[in-house]
């Protein structure tokens, strides 16, 4: 049995409780017409990487989450992009992050249909979102085919910092070329999306989004200088190398211990 959020009756003592809960949420998202069927495949890919990383947040991913919070707080117009997987897994958490950072929320789909756009926007509103952008679609990302290029001109089109969780490689590269600061959440440190990002967060979106919110709340009163020093301390290439190494070495931490 699942509830409206796809939560199921899995005993919390189960060793893979979180992973099974996440899987069921994606399944419920597909049943509710929020998540695409391709989203199931993407989730499976993510799960495999999460398993190899030890299903935990590496210290380097936590540093990326803090840098992401600093970028969102420094931005003139930050936007959180939401696709079908993100809407199924972390709808309320995205709303919390938008509130903590003053970001807009925009639905932006790889497999765009009007019906799924509406359903996701409704689902986000049910989880407390105010305005949800993405439905106007009066802007475009150059270099992509018609449907995948659609954005709101006063949303992602106007943003200086964009959070794109679980983005496909083409779009991550095209968004990066627009000169926006791009924060990507992707469990695969070798993906083109992670490599195109200014801030690649190699962590599960279910851990990453609340962690960025926690950092944003912690940094809420920080001045510009302190936020810029958080950015200066973060090295994207190093974070990707550390995650790759952790996968090769079986989920051990950065020191290889």
Among 28, 30, 36, 151, binds ligand PTJ (CB under 6 A): 36
Buried b (16+ CB within 10 A) or exposed e, 128-149: ebeebbbeebeeebeebeeebb
CA separation for the pair 199, 216 (Å, rounded): 15
Buried b (16+ CB within 10 A) or exposed e, 24-55: bbbbbbbebebbbeebbebbeebbebbebbeb
Site for ligand PTJ contains 38 (CB under 6 A): yes
Site for ligand PTJ contains 19 (CB under 6 A): no
Q: Tokens standing for 242?
A: 């550390």
**Smaller CB distance to ligand PTJ: residue 71 or 150?**
150
The contact mask relative to ligand PTJ for 126-165 (x = CB under 6 A, - = no) is: ----------------------------------------
**Smaller CB distance to ligand PTJ: residue 18 or 160?**
18
Stretch that binds ligand PTJ, among 5-13, 42-50, 70-78, 92-100 (CB under 6 A): 42-50
Closest CA to 191 of 159, 168, 215, 163: 168
CA separation for the pair 25, 14 (Å, rounded): 17
Site for ligand PTJ contains 101 (CB under 6 A): no
Given a contact cutoff of 8 angstroms between Cβ atoms, the answer to whether 93 and 210 are in contact is yes
**Smaller CB distance to ligand PTJ: residue 53 or 74?**
53
Site for ligand PTJ contains 93 (CB under 6 A): no
Residue stretches of the annotated binding site for ATP? 23, 45, 186-188, 192-193, 204-205
Residue stretches of the annotated binding site? 23, 45, 186-188, 192-193, 204-205
């Amino acid at each position: 049995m699942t509830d409206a959020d796809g939560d199921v009756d899995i005993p919390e003592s189960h060793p893979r409780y979180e992973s099974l809960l996440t899987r069921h949420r994606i399944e419920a998202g597909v049943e509710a017409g929020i998540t695409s069927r391709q989203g199931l495949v993407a989730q499976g890919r993510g799960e495999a990487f999460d398993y190899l990383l030890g299903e935990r947040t590496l210290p380097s991913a936590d540093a990326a989450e803090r840098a992401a919070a600093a970028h969102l707080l420094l931005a003139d117009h930050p936007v959180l992009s939401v696709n079908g997987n993100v809407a199924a897994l972390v709808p309320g958490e995205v709303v919390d992050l938008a509130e903590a950072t003053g970001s807009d929320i925009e639905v932006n789909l790889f497999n765009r249909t009007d019906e799924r756009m509406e359903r996701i926007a409704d689902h986000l509103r049910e989880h407390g979102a105010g305005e949800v952008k993405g439905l106007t679609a009066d802007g475009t990302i150059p270099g992509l085919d018609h449907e995948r290029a659609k954005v709101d001109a006063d949303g992602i089109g106007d943003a200086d910092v964009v959070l794109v969780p679980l983005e496909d490689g083409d779009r991550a590269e095209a968004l990066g070329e627009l000169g926006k600061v791009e924060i990507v959440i992707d469990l695969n440190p070798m993906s083109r999306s992670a490599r195109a990002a200014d801030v690649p967060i190699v962590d599960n979106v279910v851990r990453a989004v609340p962690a960025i919110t926690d950092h944003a709340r912690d940094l809420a009163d920080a001045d510009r200088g302190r936020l810029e020093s958080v950015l200066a301390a973060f090295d994207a290439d190093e974070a990707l190398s550390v995650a790759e190494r952790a996968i090769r070495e079986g989920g051990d931490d950065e020191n290889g211990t």
